[in-house]
Amino acid sequence: MPLVPMRILLDHAAENDYGVGAFNVNNMEQIQAIMMAATKTNSPVIVQASRGARSYSNDNYLRHLMLAASELNPQIPMAMHQDHGNSPATCFSAIQQGFTSVMMDGSLEADGKSPATYEYNVEVTKAVVDVAHTLGVTVEGELGCLGGIEDGHGAGLSGDEALAHLTDPEQAADFVEATGCDALAVAIGTSHGAYKFTKKPTGDVLKMDVIEKIHAKLPNCHLVMHGSSSVPKHLMDIINEFGGDMGESYGVPVEQIQRGIKHGVRKINVDTDNRLAITGAIRRVFHETPGKFDPRDYLKPARIAMAEVVEERMVAFGQAGWADKIKAVSLVDMAARYGG
């Protein structure tokens, strides 16, 4: 099956009340891990690349790896998504590279750090929608800002400042109407990376009620949860057991994500959990068999460890079992649906 527009996957998920994990990739092993889990569980997949991933791996490598994944797994509907596009130019270059979906994250300015004005966000998101839809490409927007981040994309907000940047349900309805975006990423107290919460999050820091309010206002909009790694203790423990040094931390419990899925969440972004699984597996090989030096000796277990996490999430989000029930739609047909 050729790569499909992400909208197809989200529409199907909405019709059948499940969520789809969107897993970040930077290299071949991560893409293979996702496809291993998808074929095992018969799941549709969203594979996403950040700007950092695109510059790390080079667009040409990424494009060919994604095409290889879809060629080798024709039964799996797969969308290739730009994660956190910081400007229309980034989104347009992703579309040129064959991405079937882009995120225009206008919640932050082009530096990927400073919170932007609402007007700026509407303007850049609409500019991307206007072009992307004529080509059948899906657009995800973001309203509100995620919490802090150690590095990479994010405003570094915490405490009251972070609370002030949660998504406002009224404004969300206005934003979707004004931009025509297909999916909306919402800020509900999560953040990127391993250090999200200092204890298991309760409703005062992880605002699932905000999702419920947004869904009540926008029942037909596909909602997206970023920063949705669960930061499992057993993965942190493996890293620490084999020479790592990671502090105590808590992520987004899977049951809270499942609650979100009952209220319109259709795309769930997971990167950190896979990074933890890969790092733990590699550390274990280095520690237990220090004489090994063939990269395959540690990349193979790393790939398996990531595939296990992805498989668990695919089952928990409810996307398992649906791949062969989704009909492929081409970008050209999708453009026609948008009226292009």
Catalytic residues: 83
What phi and psi, each to the nearest 5 degrees, are found at residue 224?
-125, 130
Alpha-carbon gap, residue 120 to 140, rounded angstroms: 16
Name the residue nearer to ligand 13P (CB basis): 133 or 226. Answer: 226
Distance of closest approach, residue 24 Cβ to Zn ion, in angstroms: 9
Q: Select from 5, 77, 88, 227 the one that contacts ligand 13P (CB under 6 A).
A: 227
Q: Should residue 154 be labelled a site residue for ligand 13P when binding is judged by CB under 6 A?
A: no
Taken in order 156, 262, 106, 47, the sign of the CA dihedral is positive
Q: With CB under 6 A as the contact rule, which of the stretches 8-16, 165-173, 265-273, 316-324 interacts with ligand 13P?
A: 265-273
Name the residue nearer to ligand G3H (CB basis): 22 or 331. Answer: 22
Longest dimension (CA), the chain: 61
CA-CA-CA-CA torsion for 244, 249, 254, 258, nearest 10 degrees?
A: -140
Neighbouring-strand partners of residue 138 = 101
Q: Should residue 226 be labelled a site residue for Zn ion when binding is judged by CB under 5 A?
A: yes
Name the residue nearer to ligand 13P (CB basis): 36 or 194. Answer: 194
CA distances (Å), origin 264, targets 183, 225, 255, 317 = 10, 10, 15, 12
53-112 residues in contact with Zn ion (CB under 5 A) are: none
228 binds, among ligand 13P, Zn ion, ligand G3H, none (CB under 5 to 8 A by kind): ligand 13P
Q: Should residue 269 be labelled a site residue for ligand 13P when binding is judged by CB under 6 A?
A: yes
Helix (H) or strand (E) holding 31: helix 28-41
67-86 residues in contact with ligand 13P (CB under 6 A) are: 83-84
- Check: CB of residue 49 under 8 Å from CB of residue 26: yes
Chain residues that interact with ligand G3H, rule: CB under 6 A:
24, 50, 52-53, 83-84, 152-153, 192, 271
Q: What is the CA radius of gyration of the chain?
A: 19
229 binds, among ligand 13P, ligand G3H, Zn ion, none (CB under 5 to 8 A by kind): ligand 13P
Phi-psi map region of 257: left, alpha, beta (phi>0 left; psi -120 to 50 alpha)? alpha
Q: With CB under 6 A as the contact rule, which of the stretches 168-176, 200-208, 267-275, 313-321 interacts with ligand 13P?
A: 267-275
Distance of closest approach, residue 118 Cβ to Zn ion, in angstroms: 20
Binding residues for ligand 13P (CB under 6 A): 24, 83-84, 192-193, 226-229, 269-272
